[in-house]
């Protein structure tokens, strides 16, 4: 098949998922065309079946806001025509679904039918999408898609609650390449982070408000009172500074390390003992799944679709949003004894296999085949 993929190229979960999907499809022999405004972060190295088309947005003094959606739709038309694509798969509804609708209509006039599949990822529905300045266009363009998928049952239900959707929304979970994430820890790296063999707690995200990264610091503060521990923050974003300030004011900044945006998550996760995800909402929580695949148990909130991946008492524990005491108590329960920690690690890695790339990518392929 010749497949067009549209996504955000940045470190967000939807872009990561879309890029990993494209890479997996290319490995299976499909021709994959990425259409984005920048090289997607996980699209590194040369892969013969992958093509990359950059969306250029020309500026003009009149434009206070350069019309990205128009440029995107035009690029879609161009790429679909010149490469005779079979279908277009857009990730994150805003503005990808409406640009795809526009491209589809333009091509229809020229006698070319292009099926559009829209995958909803989370905040495109639950936060930004429901904002009334976007909602009518989001609802319309989702309904105009030939197929709609959501990354969890929670997100599917939220979408039906938020908009009047006339079509079936198929749930296709996030996935992870379990083999890639089953790495042995690099001892030298572990020694740099935890020279005295301290437990390593980790959080990875885009540090947006919704992630509540201050709660991560607060949980760590409680944990390190009881046992030697280090906290590793991966990623960057608007709330990073306030997390750093909180660590400083609680006097734990020496134990907290910010390593910024990282591509080799598998190497970093390999040294972690516990992953913290304190989000106010998470449609699925791809970062938690990657942690589990690396054999790292998860302490998370029970918001959104997190209970669809984190199994209480098996792969980790969950608590209400903001319930620092429960989350820190549960973190200590896992971390205190080697025996308990190892059992949690084993079960987390085992559970991640349910979401292995080999199980989920064929579901997308079956969906595509319906339109050929
Ligand atoms: O919040 C993020 O990390 C970015 C966001 C995105 O769309 O780029 O992630 C969402 O999509 C991921 C992949 O499907 C999900 O695993 C995340 O749970 C979801 N984030 C939220 O719902 C807040």
What is the per-residue pLDDT across 285-301, written as a single tens digit (0 to 9) for each?
999 999 999 999 999 99
| 325 vs 222: CA distance, rounded Å | 8
| 38 vs 67: CA distance, rounded Å | 16
- Whether residues 229 and 312 share a domain: the answer is yes
- Under the banding of pLDDT at 50, 70 and 90, the label for residue 278 is very high
pLDDT for res 364: 98
Reported pTM: 0.95
- Which residue, judged by its Cα, is nearest atom 9 of ligand 1? 13
Ligand 1 pocket: which of 149, 158, 175, 284 to mutate (most atoms within 8 A of CB): 284
Q: Is the model's pLDDT at 147 over the cut of 90?
A: yes
CATH of the domain at 198: 3.40.50.2000
Q: What is the pLDDT of residues 172-192, one digit of tens each?
A: 999 999 999 998 888 999 999
Q: What is the pLDDT of residues 188-237, one digit of tens each?
A: 999 999 999 999 999 999 999 999 999 999 999 999 999 999 999 999 99
Ligand 1: nearest atom to the Cα of 8? 8
Ligand 1 pocket: which of 42, 130, 286 to mutate (most atoms within 8 A of CB): 286
- Whether residues 134 and 113 share a domain: the answer is yes
In the reported structure, the alpha carbon of residue 341 is separated from the centroid of ligand 1 by a whole-number distance in angstroms of 28
Ligand 1: nearest atom to the Cα of 174? 14
- Whether residues 314 and 232 share a domain: the answer is yes
Strand runs (DSSP E) across 252-297, as ranges? 256-260, 274-277
Q: Which domain holds residue 189?
A: 178-355
Q: Is the model's pLDDT at 41 over the cut of 90?
A: no
- Whether residues 280 and 364 share a domain: the answer is no
Q: Where are the alpha helices (DSSP H) in the chain?
A: 13-27, 68-83, 93-109, 123-126, 135-144, 153-162, 178-181, 187-193, 213-226, 240-249, 265-269, 286-293, 324-335, 338-352, 357-369
What residues line ligand 1, using a CB cutoff of 6 Å? 8, 12-15, 17, 92, 121-123, 151, 174, 205-206, 210, 281-286
In the reported structure, the alpha carbon of residue 284 is separated from the centroid of ligand 1 by a whole-number distance in angstroms of 7
Ligand 1 pocket: which of 8, 15, 123 to mutate (most atoms within 8 A of CB): 123
240-257: burial string, b at 16+ Cβ within 10 Å, e else: beebbebbeeeebbebbb
Question: Could you tell me if 283 and 309 are in contact, meaning their C-beta atoms sit under 8 angstroms apart?
Answer: no
In the reported structure, the alpha carbon of residue 150 is separated from the centroid of ligand 1 by a whole-number distance in angstroms of 11
Q: Is the model's pLDDT at 161 over the cut of 80?
A: yes
- Whether residues 263 and 247 share a domain: the answer is yes
In the reported structure, the alpha carbon of residue 23 is separated from the centroid of ligand 1 by a whole-number distance in angstroms of 19
| 224 vs 97: CA distance, rounded Å | 46
Ligand 1: nearest atom to the Cα of 152? 14
User: pLDDT averaged over the chain?
Assistant: 96
- Under the banding of pLDDT at 50, 70 and 90, the label for residue 263 is confident
- Whether residues 171 and 214 share a domain: the answer is no
- Whether residues 228 and 119 share a domain: the answer is no
Ligand 1 pocket: which of 121, 172, 265 to mutate (most atoms within 8 A of CB): 121
In the reported structure, the alpha carbon of residue 291 is separated from the centroid of ligand 1 by a whole-number distance in angstroms of 15
pLDDT for res 12: 83
Specify the higher pLDDT residue, 271 or 126. Answer: 271
Neighbouring residues of 44: CB distance < 8 A, sequence distance ≥ 6? 263
- Whether residues 116 and 137 share a domain: the answer is yes
- Whether residues 200 and 141 share a domain: the answer is no
Ligand 1: nearest atom to the Cα of 305? 18
- State the residue for tokens 């491209």: 103
Count of structural domains, the chain: 2
Q: Is the model's pLDDT at 10 over the cut of 90?
A: no
In the reported structure, the alpha carbon of residue 280 is separated from the centroid of ligand 1 by a whole-number distance in angstroms of 12
Ligand 1: nearest atom to the Cα of 155? 22
- Whether residues 335 and 363 share a domain: the answer is no
Residues 256-266, mean pLDDT to the nearest whole number:
93
**% residues pLDDT > 90 (the chain):** 94
- Under the banding of pLDDT at 50, 70 and 90, the label for residue 283 is very high
Cis peptide upstream of residue 287 (ω within 30 degrees of 0): no
Question: How far is C-alpha 347 from the chain's CA centre?
Answer: 22
- Whether residues 166 and 189 share a domain: the answer is no
Question: Could you tell me if 75 and 58 are in contact, meaning their C-beta atoms sit under 8 angstroms apart?
Answer: no
Q: What is the pLDDT of residues 316-353, one digit of tens each?
A: 999 999 999 999 999 999 999 999 999 999 999 999 99
Summarize the chain as % helix, strand, coil (round to 5). 45, 15, 35
pLDDT for res 130: 87
In the reported structure, the alpha carbon of residue 123 is separated from the centroid of ligand 1 by a whole-number distance in angstroms of 7
- Whether residues 124 and 24 share a domain: the answer is yes
In the reported structure, the alpha carbon of residue 61 is separated from the centroid of ligand 1 by a whole-number distance in angstroms of 35
Ligand 1: nearest atom to the Cα of 10? 8
Residues 249-262, mean pLDDT to the nearest whole number:
96
In the reported structure, the alpha carbon of residue 197 is separated from the centroid of ligand 1 by a whole-number distance in angstroms of 33
CA quadruple 140, 142, 147, 152: dihedral, nearest 10:
-150
């Amino acid at each position: 098949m010749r497949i067009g993929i549209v996504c955000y190229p940045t470190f967000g979960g939807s872009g990561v998922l879309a890029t990993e999907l494209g890479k997996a499809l290319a490995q299976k022999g499909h021709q994959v065309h990425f259409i984005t405004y920048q090289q997607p972060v996980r699209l590194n190295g040369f892969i013969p079946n992958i093509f990359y088309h950059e969306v250029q947005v020309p500026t003009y003094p009149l434009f206070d806001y350069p019309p990205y959606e128009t440029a995107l739709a035009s690029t879609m038309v161009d790429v679909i025509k010149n490469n005779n694509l079979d279908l277009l798969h857009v990730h994150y509804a805003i503005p990808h679904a409406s640009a795809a609708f526009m491209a589809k209509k333009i091509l229809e006039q020229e006698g070319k039918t292009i099926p559009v599949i829209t995958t909803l990822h989370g905040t495109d529905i639950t936060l930004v999408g429901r904002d009334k300045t976007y909602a009518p266009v989001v609802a319309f363009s989702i309904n105009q898609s030939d197929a709609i998928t959501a990354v969890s049952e929670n997100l599917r239900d939220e979408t039906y609650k938020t908009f009047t959707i006339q079509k079936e929304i198929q749930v296709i979970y996030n996935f992870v390449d379990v083999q890639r994430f089953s790495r042995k820890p690099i001892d030298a790296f572990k020694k740099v982070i935890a020279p005295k063999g301290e437990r390593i707690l980790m959080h990875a995200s885009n540090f947006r408000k919704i992630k509540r990264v201050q709660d991560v610091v607060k949980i760590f503060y409680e944990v390190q009172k009881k046992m030697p521990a280090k906290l590793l923050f991966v990623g960057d974003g608007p709330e990073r500074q306030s997390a750093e300030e909180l660590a400083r004011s609680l006097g734990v900044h020496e134990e907290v390390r910010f390593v910024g945006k990282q591509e080799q998550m598998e190497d970093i996760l390999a040294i972690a003992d516990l992953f913290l995800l304190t989000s106010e909402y998470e449609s699925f929580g791809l970062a938690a799944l990657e942690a589990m695949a690396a054999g790292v148990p998860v302490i998370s909130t029970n918001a959104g679709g997190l209970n669809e991946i984190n199994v209480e008492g098996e792969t980790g524990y969950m608590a209400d949003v903001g319930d620092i005491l429960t989350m820190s108590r549960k973190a200590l329960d896992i971390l205190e004894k080697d025996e308990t920690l190892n059992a949690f690690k084993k079960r987390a890695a085992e559970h991640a296999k349910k979401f292995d790339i080999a199980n989920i990518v064929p579901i997308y392929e079956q969906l595509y085949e319906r339109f050929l």
